[in-house]
Structures are given as C-alpha cells and as structure tokens.
Amino acid sequence: MHRIVIVGGGAGGLELATRLGDRYGPRKGRTGELSITLIDKNRTHIWKPKLHEIAAGSMDLGDHEVDYIAQAHWHHFTYRIGEMIGLDRERQEVLVAPYCDDQGIEITPQRTVPYDTLILSIGSLSNDFATPGVEQFALRLESQNDAKHFHTKMLNAIIRAQAQTSSLTPDQLHVAIIGAGATGVELAAELYRTTREVVSYGLDRVDPNKDLKVSVIEAAPRILPALPLRLSLATTALLERMGVEVITNKKVAEVVPNEVHFADGSSLPAELIVWAAGVKAPDFLKDIAGLETNRINQLVVLPTLQTSRDPNIFAMGDCAACPWPEANDGKGGFVPPRAQAAHQQASHLFKQIQLRMANKALKIYRYRDFGSLVSLGKYSTVGSMMGGLIGGNLMIEGSFAKLMYLSLYKMHELALHGWAKVSLDTLARMITRRTEPHVKLH
C-alpha cells in the first residue's frame, strides 16, 4: 500500500489529510487504498489567522480548535503526535522527536515514520532578523500556546494594576506591537476593545482611557504595506480614532525588559512587547537532507509543488517557495504566505496524488490571488479583492469586507467538517455568545 505522510497539521496539511482520508482511507467494510499519516507536534488544530483573537480574548480557543485524534478517526487517516526533527531521503523516513508532557515525562519515544510520498506543510514563524533581545523579552503569536500565554499575561497585568495601591509605572498596561502587517494591526484593534471589556467587569481602579495603551510599530513609511495606500491610510485613521498609537518609520534596534529601543536613539516603555514582523520557515528546514532552500528556510519547489531535488517530496503553504510567474505585473515572484494559498495548494495536491497513483503526468499549480483582507474587529474590515475573483481590482471596507473575511474561515471549516457540522457549530456559537461574556476572562 502506498504510504503518504503529511508533516504539519495547519490549514493546508489538515485539509489534505481529511480529503485523502475521506476518499482513500480505510473504514468499516472497506480496505483503504492508501496509508495516510498526519504528523503534528500539537494535539489540536486552530486556524492560524485566528490567533490574534485568542490572544486578545475575543475568541474562546475551545470553541474553534479541532482535535487531531477525533478528526483522524472520523476521516479515516492516522495521526501521530510529535515534531519532525530529521529526514532520511535514502531510506524514505521522517525522524520524529520524543513527545513529552509539561513535566518532561516522555509520552512517545523518538521514532521514524516511513513514506513513499512525503508532503511538508510545516508553516512559518516570525522573523526577528537577529534583533537583540527579541528572543528573550518579546512575545510572539506563532502558535495557540503563544496566544494563550499572551492572553494570560494581559489579564494578569490588568488584575495586578487593579490591586496596586501605588501609581502605575510608565510601562504598565502598555502593549507595544512590533510589525504593522495584518497580524499586528488585527491584534491592536482587538486589544483596544477587549482590554476595555475586561476592565468593565468591575475592575474600576483601571481607567481605560488613561491607563490602557496600545502602540503598533512599523519600520516602513506606512502600516499594512501589502495593501493599497488608500486602505493603509484609512486603517491608520481608524486606529488613531480608537486611541491606538501608530508609529511608522521607526526601526527597532533592541528589545529590553519593558522597553523597546529604536535605531534613532529613542525608546518606548511597554509591559507587554509583541514581535509580529517578518516571516521565515523553521530553522531546521535549512538545507534539510540536501533539499534546496532559500534564505528564509523555505523549501524550493517546482510548479508541480515537488521539491526541486526530490520528486517524492512535496511542500506547500508557508514553508514552500512556490513560483508565481504572474506576480509583480508579470515579472515573477513567489506565492505569498497566506491561508488562501495553503487552501488552494491542498486542493491541488489532492488531485496530484490521484495523478501520481495513476502514473500520470502531474499538473502545474497556478496561484489565484483573491486579495488581502484585514479584520479590525467589530469596528471594520478592510481589504482588496483581485481580478481572479471579480475581473478587476477593488478596494473594499466595512460590512461587505467583513463578510468576505468570515467566508475564508468558513471555507476552511467546510473543508474539514462539511455543511452539516459547520451549520450546527455556527448556530451553537451564536447561542453561546448571548449567554457568556464577550471576552475571555481566564
């Protein structure tokens, strides 16, 4: 039986495992046509664009996370917990690290997982560009654990200020977000609302207008540099009307405890510092097993999504440097690290596997850019819809943009669960929303 191993249970990896399992996996009364194994170091999956909502407390992780064990059981694939740490291309084996609990007790040993076709969908991390102090003193939003950790620290900071009898220090209750791309801007907007909601639950010694401060910092001349200028300016104006401090043209030179130092010699005090700038693939991918990688550790892939040096290994999503000939007005470039790209590539690889099993020629992947959307919480959503969807470029804001933003997540949910479960889950969340606080308080 042909063995397919998918490493990484993010948006693309889990969608692909689900579709392959539904189509080819073993089930009662039927022998599977393929052996499908998904490897991930986490027990549950969360859609990465939702991490800022978990961090801010506007979304309960428990309502949206997908249990890998249950998903594998329901959709007829195998799930193995652990982190990939090595690759043997000659033996066609993936090396998986031991999995240990919070006390360091080993749950599963180090082991190898054999494959015939390997698909790497490991995602990406933020890139601190070796900025001093970031690793030690800045928080990140790379995983659900990061988001939960930030949320706990934010709540603790507010409760500490409530119990404090002395005056607040300049850094207290100040959140500095370094990087004003989509993640940074979305987190700033959500935090402005949720911190005030937390205070409204009886924490009356904290003045929301005076004490709660959020700053977003960008080295470029404007925030949201990937979006058109008009939308960047509109978002800046909206954030400033909220009370969010927008700092542009400021390069961070160093992060120290409770303070950000800039290259021009100035500084900004902050109790919570978040690094949300830059993207790179995990460091262990760099030239792994002789595969070709680029300067940010992405695996170089052919237009078929096969890695450039091994036709049995595919890569997709943020960890893949996938060519995009139509980018930059036909000058060429690479597919951007977006959820829509991972969704498209999962669908393409599902078809590629079918062709591979039939010994037919693989097809070239063509990225379809449907634009970029940035959620500003309940206040607004902004973005641009591209020609692949509407026949021309269109800048959108407000309710229509928010509907489009929500539809991206619904597409992901539908790929994992189907219409019936998604409809019931959505209804249940709407009912729960009316009976519980609109911000997570623990």
Provide the residue range defining the domain that includes 353: 2-125+280-357
Contacts of 434-439 with CB under 8 Å at 24 or more apart are 437/197, 437/201, 438/58, 438/197, 439/57, 439/58, 439/194, 439/197, 439/198
What are the two backbone dihedrals, phi and then psi, of residue 343, each rounded to the nearest 5 degrees? -65, -45
* 270 within domain boundaries: yes
* 365 within domain boundaries: no
Domain end marker among 275, 293, 320: 275
Residue 145 sits in the same domain as residue 239: yes
pLDDT tens-digit map of 344-375: 999 999 999 999 999 999 999 999 887 677 77
Residue 211 sits in the same domain as residue 324: no
Tokens of 37: 């194994």
**278 vs 129: CA distance, rounded Å:** 8
Confidence class of residue 329 from pLDDT cuts 50, 70 and 90?
Answer: confident
* 96 within domain boundaries: yes
* pLDDT reading at 398 higher than 90: no
Higher-confidence residue of 236 and 401: namely 236
- Mean pLDDT of the residues in the chain: 89
**DSSP class of 131:** -
**Structure confidence at residue 61 (pLDDT):** 73
* 367 within domain boundaries: no
Residue 10 sits in the same domain as residue 81: yes
**Structure confidence at residue 397 (pLDDT):** 61
Nearest alpha carbon to residue 88 among 107, 111, 121, 106: 111
* pLDDT reading at 166 higher than 80: yes
Mean pLDDT of 33-56: 92
* 217 within domain boundaries: yes
Nearest alpha carbon to residue 219 among 177, 259, 183: 177
pTM of the model: 0.90
Confidence class of residue 11 from pLDDT cuts 50, 70 and 90?
Answer: very high
**228 vs 419: CA distance, rounded Å:** 35
**201 vs 51: CA distance, rounded Å:** 24
**Structure confidence at residue 439 (pLDDT):** 55
**Structure confidence at residue 379 (pLDDT):** 59
What total of structural domains would you count in the chain?
A: 3
Mean pLDDT of 218-231: 88
Query: Which position has the token pair 């015939």?
Result: 116
Domain end marker among 275, 308, 333: 275
Residue 324 sits in the same domain as residue 265: no
Range list of β-strands (E), 179-275: 213-217, 245-247, 252-256, 259-262, 267-269, 272-275
Mean pLDDT of 206-211: 90
Residue 286 sits in the same domain as residue 271: no
Taking each helix axis as running N to C, give the angle between helix 11-24 and helix 68-75, from 0 to 180 degrees, rounded to the nearest 10.
30
Residue 121 sits in the same domain as residue 155: no
Higher-confidence residue of 174 and 195: namely 174
* 441 within domain boundaries: no
**DSSP class of 361:** P
Q: Are strands 117-120 and 2-7 parallel, antiparallel or unpaired?
A: parallel
Residue 143 sits in the same domain as residue 268: yes
**388 vs 377: CA distance, rounded Å:** 26
What percent of the chain clears pLDDT 90, i.e. is strictly above it?
A: 64
* pLDDT reading at 320 higher than 60: yes
**Structure confidence at residue 30 (pLDDT):** 74
Residue 221 sits in the same domain as residue 89: no
Q: Mean pLDDT check: name the lowest of 61-65, 168-172, 306-310.
A: 61-65
Which residues fall within 8 angstroms of residue 23, CB to CB, at 6 or more apart?
350
Nearest alpha carbon to residue 24 among 123, 113, 117: 117
**Structure confidence at residue 369 (pLDDT):** 80
Residue 257 sits in the same domain as residue 379: no
Q: How many CA atoms lie within 13 A of 332 on its CB side?
A: 5
Residue 68 sits in the same domain as residue 187: no
**Structure confidence at residue 253 (pLDDT):** 97
Residue 352 sits in the same domain as residue 380: no
**Structure confidence at residue 50 (pLDDT):** 87
**182 vs 381: CA distance, rounded Å:** 11
Q: What angle do CA 283, 141, 402 make, to 5 degrees?
A: 125
**DSSP per residue, 215-227:** EEE-SSSSS-TTS
Alpha-carbon dihedral angle through residues 100, 105, 107, 111, given to the nearest 10 degrees: 70
Which residues fall within 8 angstroms of residue 30, CB to CB, at 6 or more apart?
none
* 363 within domain boundaries: no
How far is it between the farthest Cα atoms of the chain? 73
Q: Mean pLDDT check: name the lowest of 122-131, 148-157, 201-210, 389-398.
A: 389-398
* 351 within domain boundaries: yes
Tokens of 53: 């909502």
What are the two backbone dihedrals, phi and then psi, of residue 226, each rounded to the nearest 5 degrees? -80, -15
Do residues 283 and 294 touch, judged by C-beta distance below 8 A?
A: no
Residue 252 sits in the same domain as residue 148: yes
**Structure confidence at residue 432 (pLDDT):** 67
Domain end marker among 307, 332, 357: 357
Mean pLDDT of 17-46: 90
**DSSP class of 69:** H
**Structure confidence at residue 390 (pLDDT):** 34
CATH of the domain at 240: 3.50.50.60
* pLDDT reading at 388 higher than 60: no
